[in-house]
């Protein structure tokens, strides 16, 4: 039967980084941040170009809609006047 007084303690040791190890970690983090900034420029450019194209498409669609609405309205009025012989 195990003795209830049996116990153990786990001990671990963590090495404190030295000065040059801190410099290396800071340099790697800075380099990673710079690479992220450089990589973001093509993504931002792509997104802005896509937005401009989408806006142009929407502008063309709105112009087409109102042009069609205007022409349809004119034709409707013309048809009505022709039917009523008011022209």
Domain ranges in the chain are 33-87
Tell me the chain's radius of gyration from C-alpha atoms. 37
pLDDT of residue 3: 59
Helices (H), 1-87: 19-84
Pairwise CA distance, residues 83 & 75, whole Å? 12
Mean pLDDT score across all residues of the chain: 81
Look at 3-7, 16-20, 28-32 and tell me which has the smallest mean pLDDT. Answer: 3-7
Give the mean pLDDT of 31-58: 89
| pLDDT of 20 higher than 70 | yes
Cβ atoms of 87 and 81 within 8 Å: the answer is yes
54: which DSSP letter? H
């Amino acid at each position: 039967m195990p003795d209830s007084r049996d116990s153990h303690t786990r001990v671990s040791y963590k090495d404190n980084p030295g000065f040059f190890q801190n410099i290396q970690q800071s340099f790697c983090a800075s380099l990673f941040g710079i690479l992220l900034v450089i990589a973001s420029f093509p993504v931002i450019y792509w997104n802005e170009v896509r937005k401009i194209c989408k806006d142009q498409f929407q502008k063309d669609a709105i112009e087409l809609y109102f042009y069609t609405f205007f022409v349809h309205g004119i034709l409707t009025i013309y048809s009505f006047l022709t039917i009523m012989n008011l022209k």
